[in-house]
Structure 1
Amino acid sequence: MTHEKSGPRTLSGWGRTIRRTCEVRRPTFDGGLVDLVTAEPRLTVRGAGKSYGDAALPGSGGPGVVLELTEFDRIVSFDEGNGVVVVEAGALLKDLIDQTLPIGWKLPVVPGTERITVGGAIACDVHGKNHPGAGSFGQHVVWLALLRSDGTIVQLSAGQDPDGFWATIGGMGLTGVILRAAIQLQRVDTGWMIRNRRRTRSLDETLDAMRAAAGRQELDPERYAIAWLDARGSAPGRGIVDEYYGAGTLDLPGAVAPFPETRPPSARYRRSLPGRGVVSNTTIAAASAARWHLSRSANSQLVAMRDALCPLDRADAWPAAFGRGGLVQYQFAVPADEIGTIHEVLSYLGRHGLPPALATLKNLGFGTAGALSFPIPGWTLAVDLPARRLGTLRPLDKLVAGAGGRVYLAKDAVTDPELIPLMYPRLPTWRRTQRRLDPAGRWTSGLAERLGLLS
């Protein structure tokens, strides 16, 4: 049997906002994958399904075929001398970290969850809390093997077909199937971090703290920073700024092992709560006030690296709390000198009775050469909102685009498609390379159709 074939299934993104009925195919080896690809006229590539919206779902025109790659999850090789690991694209970052961190190597870039696939991390060009110094995930990919829509397999790198390589980095799974990749890891002495926490009393104070952190991050790729914002009311912005750096062996108390025990397996899927769930303006206000008041400024706190970098993995029930409608994470980036846009967005949400259930601010440095890669030098704000108020967000797209900013495609469910060429000005160049890599025109997704990425 070349692949597992299932009947119609209903799938969604992590935010549970958009649902599609799909035919799911799970190829079990390379030959079966090639046969499947050349047999299906239209395909959507899916990894762990952790993108928030419809990036890993077919379009709305009828049951689409989804190519799920979680069977391709082997670590092919690991050179402990130079830290280069070759891994299949369906492997979770968690599995890679489980194998390499205890022997003193770490992924240079990890997003807020380690439960995404390597292929998804490349396709979305994910970023972490250390972007000003370390860049995004794609900058640490040595090479990747790509299955094109005509059934041929090509190896791409920054030196071998760089146009194809950078079109695939951040290309949202629309250039082909990433089969495997070589990733450059980094040496670490321990699996712990030192956290310095500062509680702020206004948005301006929060921004000043993050600017200072950005200066340190630019000089050191091992510096991580993130701000949580209490985004309620007409003048939001008090918050908590956390800055992390790696702990050495001398920083550990004598009873603490250099590397914490491996995390237990991923938590199971949680059903959405009925109706509108438990997220409301009242519960958001209570939770935000409690979080701010219970936190205290403090330095030199020891935190496990994986807890510091992957907070979403301790909140697997988070989307379920928003009820059957799900949640939208509206994440955008703007240049450093357009900080007024952050003020405007938060004020707009306050005026429209949309306090975010979660609002986080990070610094961004220079992005990759990927035309659809999200990061640009400046700021990125992410806000979690109930999906039932999607239409209210449309005016924010114009604010962001007018400031020279962009939305994050991996999180998107609502953006005005007319603004995508303005947000991503190298889209025409990406389209030309995408057509070359996809000669049969097989790759599609709900995101691509909704935003007109392939037109």
Structure 2
Amino acid sequence: MTPEYPTVALSGWGRSSRRRSIVRRPTTDEELIEVVTAGSQLTVRGAGRSYGDAALSEQGIVLDLTARNRVLSFDQRNGVIVVEAGAVLADLMDQVLPLGWSLPVLPGTARITVGGALASDVHGKNHPGAGSFGQHVLWLALLDADGTTTELSAGHDPDGFWATLGGMGLTGVILRAAIQLQPLETGWAIQRRRRTRSLDETIEVLRELATQQEGDPNLHGVAWLDTHTPGPRLGRGVVDESHPALVADLPPAVQLQPDRRRFATGRAIRSLPGPGVVFGPTIAAASAARWHFAGASNQRLLPLMSALCPLDRVDAWPAAFGRRGLIQYQFAVPSEATAVLRRVLAFLVGSRMAPALTTLKNLGFGTAGPLSFPLHGWTLAADLPARWVQDDSRLHSIDAMVADAGGRVYLAKDSTVDPTVIPDMYPRLKTWQRTRDRLDPDRRFTSALAERLNLLS
């Protein structure tokens, strides 16, 4: 007799996309293979930190891999770690940082799984020098719908390897991966903060920073933009430039205590005032305060994780946007397309949708992954209350601007993009589909995102 499993309410991290699904959480290889080979359609889910519907299912079973989170081996001499896909990046950092190692790429949150980082091919604030997460993966093990495990790498089935990196969990189940870590002297960072007075100045500062980043994979940079100051000051901002601190950079009291040098994990969390506190006047007031107070300190020492993963310092960020949550619209455009950045900001402000949080970063050259997001240029992310976007088509004007400029949206964040522009945004989509169909000919692996954007057809 086949057991019946109840449906569970799931959402993306932004809370704007919701579904009810049967969830299976296998802990053993035998149980996992049993679920995968049972014949149902499957959606692979990690920590649930995708903003939209990438880890939600229109039908079938959601496969939760968070119980499979072991470190299988760690070569401390060479910095190679082999981990299961359900391991969370923050937990890995807690283990390897005291030993003098770090993950080479960390996105704005470290509370994602290794499998999610691979499936989204995440990037950090050091992309011009370090590239994306997948570029530091030595190999990965992929489980197909028949229950067969294959080891993929850049040298063994490179098409399958790169289709899986950035493939949004649609090529199979990532079981484990070997990752090359980078050495660090301390768990601290030196952060330099600069204010800019216009979008042009912000772009110029970031351009100069990108030149330095290309030669230094440990140099991280991001700009916060003020979208609530009208006229020529629209897009003024605060640029944070961070790099890991050496022992010589630390105050004497910290230098003399090796444990303090290594255990600066920066995991303290600040709670927001309450749910639904993000609306027009509060956003404008917070933006003005942030810009003015940024001039109080030019350089500071802070825990490395606080510098690299600022999202992890705020508790329940989506709840601040109200019951319907938030939509993050993130896109990338080529280096020369700075006019598009201005046009997007003007559109949002003119449509009475000035974002609650807007960030701008440099991106270096992309990868061989057909669906990998980064391209050489800029990436802008805007957090919007979902209640402002009553109709998904309200943002389709931005989709067109981005696509016309040769840019693309970030699939790991998306919940609204016009599906008709996806082939223009991802010109190697057909190449990816051919490889995907080879890896999963019966199209058993799917998601609400894949269905909405017709990624599998």
User: Shorter-chain TM-score: which interval?
Assistant: over 0.9
Secondary structure of the 1:67 match is: strand
Q: Is the 8 A contact 2:89 2:113 kept in 1?
A: yes
Q: Is residue 2:14 matched to residue 1:15?
A: yes
Distance 1:356 1:166, change over 3 A: same
2:261 aligned partner, one-letter code: P
Q: For residue 272 of structure 1, report the CA deviation from its aligned partner.
A: 8.8
1:179 aligned partner, one-letter code: L
1:175 aligned partner, one-letter code: T
User: What is the match of residue 253 of structure 2?
Assistant: 255
Q: Percent same amino acid among aligned pairs? A: 63
Q: For residue 260 of structure 1, report the CA deviation from its aligned partner.
A: 2.9
Q: For residue 201 of structure 1, report the CA deviation from its aligned partner.
A: 1.0
Distance 1:263 1:74, change over 3 A: farther
Q: For residue 22 of structure 1, report the CA deviation from its aligned partner.
A: 0.6
With 121-130 and 311-320 compared, the bigger mean Cα shift is at: 311-320
Q: Is the 8 A contact 2:110 2:309 kept in 1?
A: yes
User: What is the match of residue 429 of structure 2?
Assistant: 427
Q: For residue 261 of structure 1, report the CA deviation from its aligned partner.
A: 4.3
Matches within 5 A, 1:136-175: 136-175=132-171
Q: For residue 440 of structure 1, report the CA deviation from its aligned partner.
A: 2.9
User: What is the match of residue 306 of structure 2?
Assistant: 307
Secondary structure of the 1:27 match is: coil
- 1:18-66, Cα deviation, whole Å (9 max, x unpaired): 100010000111111011101142010000000000000002xxx5310
Q: Is residue 2:445 matched to residue 1:443?
A: yes
Distance 2:7 2:323 in 1: 21
- 1:75-102, Cα deviation, whole Å (9 max, x unpaired): 0000011100000000000111111010
Q: For residue 430 of structure 1, report the CA deviation from its aligned partner.
A: 0.2
Gaps of 5+ in 1: none
Secondary structure of the 2:261 match is: coil
Q: Is the 8 A contact 1:21 1:64 kept in 2?
A: no
TM-score (norm 1): 0.95
User: What is the match of residue 95 of structure 2?
Assistant: 99
User: What is the match of residue 412 of structure 1?
Assistant: 414
Q: Is the 8 A contact 1:198 1:297 kept in 2?
A: no
Residue of 240, 243, 246 corresponding to 2:244: 246
Distance 2:111 2:316 in 1: 14
Residue of 185, 188, 200 corresponding to 2:184: 188
Q: For residue 232 of structure 1, report the CA deviation from its aligned partner.
A: 1.6
Q: Is the 8 A contact 1:5 1:25 kept in 2?
A: no
Distance 2:297 2:265 in 1: 27
2:117 aligned partner, one-letter code: A
Distance 1:38 1:410 in 2: 26
User: What is the match of residue 364 of structure 1?
Assistant: 363
With 293-302 and 367-376 compared, the bigger mean Cα shift is at: 293-302
Q: Is the 8 A contact 2:264 2:303 kept in 1?
A: no
Q: What CA RMSD, in Å, does the superposition of the two structures yield over aligned residues?
A: 1.9
Q: Is the 8 A contact 2:267 2:313 kept in 1?
A: no
Secondary structure of the 1:199 match is: strand
Q: Is the 8 A contact 1:5 1:24 kept in 2?
A: no
Q: For residue 295 of structure 1, report the CA deviation from its aligned partner.
A: 1.1
Secondary structure of the 1:96 match is: helix
Q: Is the 8 A contact 1:372 1:424 kept in 2?
A: yes
User: What is the match of residue 319 of structure 1?
Assistant: 318
Q: Is residue 2:110 matched to residue 1:114?
A: yes
Secondary structure of the 1:227 match is: strand
Q: Is the 8 A contact 2:269 2:313 kept in 1?
A: no
With 109-118 and 287-296 compared, the bigger mean Cα shift is at: 287-296
Distance 2:296 2:453 in 1: 43
User: What is the match of residue 214 of structure 1?
Assistant: 210
Q: Is the 8 A contact 2:12 2:55 kept in 1?
A: yes
Distance 1:56 1:266, change over 3 A: farther
Q: Is residue 2:53 matched to residue 1:64?
A: no
Give the count of matched residue pairs: 446
Residue of 137, 160, 175 corresponding to 1:179: 175
Gaps of 5+ in 2: 255-259
Secondary structure of the 2:6 match is: strand
Distance 1:233 1:380 in 2: 21
Distance 1:120 1:157 in 2: 17
Secondary structure of the 2:252 match is: coil
Distance 1:5 1:358 in 2: 43
Distance 2:350 2:134 in 1: 38
Secondary structure of the 1:452 match is: coil
1:259 aligned partner, one-letter code: R
- 1:179-215, Cα deviation, whole Å (9 max, x unpaired): 0000000001111111111011111111111111001
Q: For residue 298 of structure 1, report the CA deviation from its aligned partner.
A: 4.3
With 195-204 and 252-261 compared, the bigger mean Cα shift is at: 252-261
Matches within 5 A, 1:349-360: 349-360=348-359
> Post-superposition, which runs of at least 4 consecutive aligned residues in structure 1 deviate over 4 A?
261-268
Q: Is the 8 A contact 2:267 2:312 kept in 1?
A: no
Distance 2:243 2:145 in 1: 43
With 84-93 and 439-448 compared, the bigger mean Cα shift is at: 439-448
Secondary structure of the 2:369 match is: coil
Q: Is residue 2:400 matched to residue 1:401?
A: no
Distance 1:5 1:303, change over 3 A: farther
Matches within 5 A, 1:274-313: 277-296=276-295, 298-313=297-312
TM-score (norm 2): 0.95
User: What is the match of residue 38 of structure 1?
Assistant: 37
Secondary structure of the 2:191 match is: strand
2:388 aligned partner, one-letter code: R
Q: For residue 5 of structure 1, report the CA deviation from its aligned partner.
A: 7.8
Distance 1:271 1:118, change over 3 A: farther
Distance 1:286 1:266, change over 3 A: closer
Matches within 5 A, 1:227-242: 227-235=223-231, 236-242=234-240
1:258 aligned partner, one-letter code: R
Q: Is the 8 A contact 1:150 1:439 kept in 2?
A: no
2:237 aligned partner, one-letter code: G
Distance 2:55 2:368 in 1: 23
2:349 aligned partner, one-letter code: G
Q: Is the 8 A contact 2:265 2:304 kept in 1?
A: no
Q: For residue 286 of structure 1, report the CA deviation from its aligned partner.
A: 0.6
Q: Is the 8 A contact 1:195 1:302 kept in 2?
A: yes
